[in-house]
Amino acid sequence: MTAFHHSFDPTSLREYDIRGIVGQTLRPEDAFAIGRCFGSIVSRGGGTKVAVGYDGRLSSPEMEAQLVAGLRACGLEVLRIGCGPTPMLYYAAYALQADGAVMVTGSHNPPNYNGFKMMLGKKPFFGRQIQEIGRMAAEGDVVPAAIGSDRQVDISEQYVSRVLEDWDGGDRALRVVWDPGNGSSAEIVKKLVARLPGTHFVINGTIDGTFPAHHPDPTVAKNLEQIIAEVAREKADLGIAFDGDGDRIGVVDDEGHILFGDQLMIVLARDVLKQKPGGTIIADVKASQVLFDEIAKAGGTPLMWKTGHSLIKAKMAETGSPLAGEMSGHIFFADKWYGFDDAPYSAVRLLGIVARMQGRLSAVRAALPQVINTPELRFDCPDTRKFGVIQEVKDRLAAEGAKVQDVDGVRVLTGDGWWLLRASNTQAVLVARAEATTEAGLDRLKAQIARQLEASGLAAPDFSGANAGH
């Protein structure tokens, strides 16, 4: 048999997953190679079973078939759970006692992208482990070819039943609009709403990899315009939107206002801390200072951590945190759940809270301290330069005696508020964000970011129109 060797496009091996443009930087033969290398890692660790799922993208079925072939060639049993959300695959890894799991998904990227998210045992597989896949493929460092097996396992009803076990909203009949965005959680949403109390309206509820209604990224306000209109039309209590593979959530209140990731975390954290007083609640460096302050007020221990779902999961396990979240809408429950990011589960927990509320969700949002901030601003910076720029900024700030939190890039605290500059782990970009209590204060913070970038020879991002209250 011909010896196995394979070269990946280097841009496809990311920090948290493998991802690329189908037919350009990612091809079916890459999927086979991922199966062959990841399967070898599982096999060498004594594992025998790997769970595999895929999202609704047009390229996913072929990618999944090649991935399965690669895993089988390692002598493994492959448990194929079919098309569904990424968290259902994570759940399958626990429920089916798999030794590893691979999800074929392009997440919230454009339709011509696809990728792979992995778990080894019950832990995220990321960083150096993903680079190791590249090395193994290039060197042909895999277990001898063998004949494994595969079988279809429909775990959707079991997953939905387990999610609903933690429904705690009683019988209050909420009116809820759901938008799975034609993504891979669409069928799961239909199964959930059929068993939840209340009246439910599902829009874009057919899995369609062309995403005909809007791009499946609920962190972008434009993508929520349809659900906002539907919430108003149906006089709903709230609206819930998911990204393309169902691991990120977006929320709209009864007045049509977006609850950003950090505002949603405040609602969830207050509830969790009633049962887990003093618990460590983790949020990423992009979150509002309001979130960290409100966690402390609710009797919790706030912890600011690095952006990235794999990094957050690892920190949760280390600290015993019952809840974590990111501005991007990844919400991680380890309270009653398994510690992975799961939008359908987070939605059910949120609905339980809203059902038990005396008032409306909009009143909770309106009562939060009001701040003005920029959205996440992303601008190009070569991969070879981005981390160097951050180090230069750190050095200058240290010389100036600035108050800096440096868990992930630099988050600078001033009398006006704070500003953040960090390097993306997944793209050749720098990410900036700022928050203040006044417009004038925010302008001063943006000027500080611009000054630091210019000192490193980079043009400042376009801040025009980049203020939003929340």
Half-sphere exposure of 30 (CA within 13 A, CB side): 24
CA 257 to chain centre: 21
Consecutive H or E run containing 179:
strand 175-179
Which is nearest to 461 in space by CA: 428, 421, 424?
421
* Among candidate residues 18, 215, 180, the one with its CA nearest the CA of residue 83: 180
- Select from 80, 70, 130 the least CA-distant residue to 101: 80
Q: At 332, which amino acid appears?
A: F
Q: CA 210, CA 340: separation in Å to the nearest integer?
A: 27
Q: For 95, how many CA atoms within 13 A lie in the half-sphere containing its CB?
A: 20
- DSSP annotation string for 84-128: --HHHHHHHHHHTT-SEEEEE--TTS-TTEEEEEEEETTEE--TH
The stretches of 150-207 forming alpha helices (DSSP H) are 156-165, 186-195
| Phi, psi (degrees; rounded to nearest 5) at 457 | 80, 20
> Degrees (nearest 5) of the Cα angle 41, 42, 44?
65
The structure tokens listed for 244 are: 């393309």
Question: Which residues are catalytically annotated?
Answer: 107
Containing 83, the helix (H) or strand (E) segment is strand 77-83
Cross-strand partners of 411? 405, 420
- Work out the number of other CB atoms within 10 angstroms of the CB of residue 469: 8
CA distance 375 to 344: 25
| Strand runs labelled E in 315-371 | 323-325, 331-333
Structural contact between residues 431 and 376, judged by C-beta atoms closer than 8 angstroms: yes
